[in-house]
Amino acid sequence: MHFNLKRPYLFIIILMVQLSHGQKQLPDWQPGFLDIHHINTGRGDATFMVFPDGTTMLVDAGDMSETHPRTTSSRNAKLVPNRSKTAPEWIVDYIDQFLSKKQERKLDYALISHYHDDHFGEIDSLRSIAKGGYQLTGIMEVGTLIPIKKLIDRGFDYPIDLTNEQVQSKERFSKDAYGMIPTLKEYWKFIAYQSGKVGLENEALQVGSNYQITLKNHPKDYPNFSVQNIASNGNIWTGYDDSFYPLFKEGEYPGENSLSSVIRIDYGKFNYYTGGDISGINSFGQTDINDVESHIAPIVGPVDVATLNHHGNRDSQNPFYVRTIRPRVWIQQNWTADHPGEEVLRRITSTKLYPGDRDIFSTVMLQGAKDVIGGKLDLYKSQNGHIVIRVYNNGDAYKVYVLDDTTEGRKILSEHGPYKAR
C-alpha cells in the first residue's frame, strides 16, 4: 500500500483504521514479562509460555487424527490457519514467531498433561515417519522440529503400568478408537531417540514440587516466580512441603482425564492455573466431592487466570471448585461443539458463586455451541483466536491479547486490561 504523505490527515485515518482492525503486532517479549500463549490450531490444547527470565515451556501439543469422521465433521473445529501444515507444525511456527530472537531456539520444558489425542497426539495413516522410526504426531513432531530439554508427563506405571503387555491387551485399550496405546508406543520411541540425539530428559511430574520446573537463566532476578505442581495421577498435594495423598489405588484406572497433571504458576501477586481434563461433576449432573476438582480447589486457592478444566465439558467446573478458585479471567481452550456445556457457562458466570467481574475468552466457538448458548454468547470477550496473557510489573498487573488465528501474521484482534493482580 502506498500513502500520499502530502495528505497527512488521510494517512492518519488509514493508520487508525488499520489499528482498529487488528493490524498491530504483539509487542516483543521483554525480560520481566511472563507470557502465556494459548495457541489455537483446532486440534486440541497447546500453551506456549515464556517465563520472566526467558525460560520456555510448552504445555500439551494436541493433534487429532485427520481421518476420523469426528475430526472432519461440523462437530469439530477446522485446522487453522490452513491445511498447509500439520497442527504440530503450526505450533512450532507460532513458537518461532514469538520466541525472542536473542534466545536459543529450544524448549526448556514440555509438559504433557495426559495421554489423550487432543493433548499429546494420535497415530494416523497420514503421518510421516521420523528418522528415529516414530510417527510425527503431536509432541513427537513438535520435539522433532524444535529441541526439548526436559519432557515431563504423568509417568507410565501408576495407577496401572501402561508398558505392561497384559494391561495393553485389556479391552478398554485394545478397542480404543483413538489408539492411545499405539500412540504411546510412538511416544516412547520418540523419547528414546531424542534422548540420544539432543539429550532430552523425561520425567514424571513430581506432585508437591516447586523445584522441578524452575527458571533456567536468571532465577535470582525473579525470586517471586514459581511453578507449583498440584496433582497428577490422582495424587493431590497437601499444601505442605512436597507431601501428597492418593485418590486412586494401585491397579485402579479411572481414565486419563482424572489422571491429568495440574499446576499453578505464581509471579508476585499473579496466579495462573491449568489442570488438563480433570472434572468434578458426576454422571447425574451433581457435584462430585470425591473427584479431582473438589480435592485440588482448596489447594489451588483463588487465582487471577484459570483455564477451563476439560475444555469446559459439562462434567467440569463444579460449584465448589468455581467458588473456591474464582478467577478474574477464564480461558476456554476447545475444539468441538460440546464445549462449553451451557450449564458450565452458567456456573462460571454466576455472581452467586463468587462476586465481582470476570471475563471469558475462547479459542474457538463452533456454530453448534452458539446455537445452544444463544444470548449467553454476549458473556464472552472473545470467541476465536490465540489468547495471550502478558504479566508485567513483577506480577502486579496483566493484559489479555487476542490474536488472529486465521492468518500466519497473528496480528492483534483485541486488547483487554490492564487487570490488577490480586
Give the pLDDT confidence of 30-80 residue by residue, as tens digits. 999 999 999 999 999 999 999 999 999 999 999 999 999 889 899 999 999
Q: Is the pTM of this model over 0.85?
A: yes
Grid coordinates belonging to 204: 514424571
d(CA 266, CA 271): 5
Residue 19 located in a structural domain? no
Give the SS3 label for residue 98.
helix
Beta sheet of 244-246, edge-to-edge order: 244-246, 235-237, 225-232, 262-267, 270-274, 305-307, 329-332, 359-362, 380-382
Q: Residue 12: what pLDDT?
A: 42
Q: Residue 209: what pLDDT?
A: 98
Q: Residue 61: what pLDDT?
A: 98
Distances (CA, A) of 404 to 80, 84, 172, 235, 414: 10, 17, 39, 38, 9
Count of domains observed in the chain: 1
Residue 88 located in a structural domain? yes
d(CA 269, CA 254): 35
Residue 20 located in a structural domain? no
Cα angle 298-240-119, degrees, rounded to a multiple of 5: 60
CATH of the domain at 338: 3.60.15
Residue 16 located in a structural domain? no
- What are 246-249's contacts with CB under 8 Å, separation 24+? 247/290, 247/292, 247/295, 248/159, 249/159
What dihedral angle (degrees, nearest 10) is formed by the CA atoms of 31, 275, 40, 190?
90
Q: Residue 6: what pLDDT?
A: 46
Residue 26 located in a structural domain? no
Residue 296 located in a structural domain? yes
Q: Which residues of the chain have pLDDT under 50?
A: 1-22
CB 293, CB 316: distance < 8 Å: yes
Q: Residue 2: what pLDDT?
A: 43
**Residue 416: domain span:** 44-420
Q: Residue 354: what pLDDT?
A: 98
Q: Residue 254: what pLDDT?
A: 97
Residue 25 located in a structural domain? no
d(CA 421, CA 50): 18
DSSP of 184-233: HHHHHHHHHHHHHHH--EEEE--TT-SSSS--SS-GGG-TTEEEEEEEET
Show the DSSP H helices in 213-304 as ranges.
292-300
Residue 23 located in a structural domain? no
Q: Residue 368: what pLDDT?
A: 94
Number of CB atoms found within 10 A of residue 355's CB: 9
Q: Residue 263: what pLDDT?
A: 99
d(CA 139, CA 59): 10
Give the SS3 label for residue 349.
coil
d(CA 330, CA 318): 14
